[in-house]
Structure 1
């Protein structure tokens, strides 16, 4: 299950789906809202996320606290 908040013109929501891990990358199948989502585990231990939606790309990193 993947959940998101307000992102551009897209309202908060959630979707269940399938993903695939290849190497250090988790790529989800396209979400019902048209978003393509992937995550990469970096050597420094951070998890980098990328969302592509409606011609825009959003990125962020998750840090272990």
Structure 2
């Protein structure tokens, strides 16, 4: 079963909403940077999930790029 970010990205790809995907990726990157800067807390699991989300978002952006070039 698809996780939430996959469903969200799929929706944005269907709508061809590149700006929303870019915003989502930027938000996730900022969140990862903030979590990596924390001291005294073990945020590895959250950081890993965010990085996986970014991979899914970038795959959606790649789909939009492919559609634009065809």
TM over 0.5: same fold? no
TM-score w.r.t. the length of structure 1 is: 0.24
Bigger helix share: 2
Which structure has more relative contact order (CA 8 Å, sep 6+)? It is 2
TM-score w.r.t. the length of structure 2 is: 0.23
Bigger strand share: 1
